[in-house]
Structure 1
């Protein structure tokens, strides 16, 4: 029998026979890494350039996804007084808006840090653990992981397009 050669950056492929948790974690980490690959090597000017009518920029995607990670993991599963879960309405455009001094390096580091914290928080709970969510009532960790896979994958697709419009770089990974 021939052993297939598998690219180790394709986490979902590597975890194809894992349990549910391993598969969910692999898919989410794959999409997180895809977003980071799309911004790698860009200048601050390139990352902040508006190429579509909305506020969506590559740097803005990092800022938004950092907030998404914090909002869905830390704020729901480790709530702190005075730091409520933010609703989609309260942060829609604001999460894409860059602040003075936002650099690609700082936004990338913040996103990587938020993802690491999310992994740590999620690891403390089983998939069936349920927490209150202001708009939805209750959500399980399983639901949050699936939601973050969807959210991150959607924005990874946006990042693919924005990167191609920026400098022509394309790639499936």
Structure 2
């Protein structure tokens, strides 16, 4: 199973004095790569394994959830696209027969769609969000929130992966 595809693994650091948009794009790309590295080299069965009892959390569930997060924030909330959920339960619910390869392809497809969807929008552009205190949310805030989701769930993935096969680090 190849879990880091060339179109995702462009994990180089940009100029540390680059502009804000380039920085946010790079940080998001890096968070994706770091998460996928936690899944690299595992079998489909291992990716479906809940390894930190009593939690039912799995690496595959996290991958599916992160695809849902990007879809929800960039395409549904920001662009107001009317899209069905990719997976039930926010992606976390993984069954014994959940297809890891298909989920990986969906993740790559969704992240590419999200990148393309917001590529030409300004970070200060606002979208309606009834849950936001002001009723609006900026694309900048969405980027930071999605990066935050990756950081949080990559931490979870660290623990899951270490329990599966002892692997640690990036």
Offset, 1:76: 1.9
In the alignment, structure 1 residue 112 sits paired with structure 2 residue 108: yes
Residues 96, 142 of structure 1: alpha-carbon distance in 2 compared, 3 angstrom cutoff: same
Superposition RMSD on alpha carbons, in Å? 2.1
SS at match of 1:14: coil
Aligned positions of 1:23-172 closer than 5 A: 23-52=23-52, 53-81=54-82, 83=83, 93-99=89-95, 101-136=97-132, 137-171=135-169
1:50 and 1:80 mapped to 2: Cα distance? 33
Query: 2:166 and 2:75 mapped to 1: Cα distance?
Result: 36
| Residue 3 of structure 1: aligned partner | none
How far apart are the structure 2 equivalents of 1:153 and 1:50? 20
Equivalents in 2 of 1:94, 1:20: separation in Å? 30
TM-score scaled by length of structure 2: 0.83
Q: Describe the shift of the 1:80–1:22 C-alpha distance in structure 2 as closer, same or farther (beyond 3 A).
A: closer
**DSSP-derived class of the 2:128 partner:** strand
Unmatched segments (≥5 aa) in structure 1: 1-7, 86-90
- Say whether the 8 Å CA contact 2:77–2:128 is kept in structure 1: yes
Q: Please state whether the residue corresponding to 1:34 is helix, strand or coil.
A: helix
Contiguous gaps of at least 5 residues in structure 2: 1-8
SS across alignment from 2:46: helix
CA distance 1:161–1:15, change in 2 (3 Å) = farther
Q: Closer, same or farther in 2 for the Cα pair 1:25/1:42, shift >3 Å?
A: same
Flag as ranges the 4+ runs of structure 1 deviating above 3 A.
Answer: 8-11
Matches of 1:79 and 1:147, distance apart in 2 = 17
- Contact kept, 8 Å, 1:75 with 1:84, in 2: the verdict is no
Residue 11 of structure 2 contacts residue 29 of structure 2 at CA under 8 Å; is this kept in 1?
no
What's the offset of the Cα at 1:60?
0.4
Matched residue count: 157
C-alpha distance in structure 2 between counterparts of 1:116 and 1:45, whole Å: 26
Local SS of the residue matching 2:123: coil
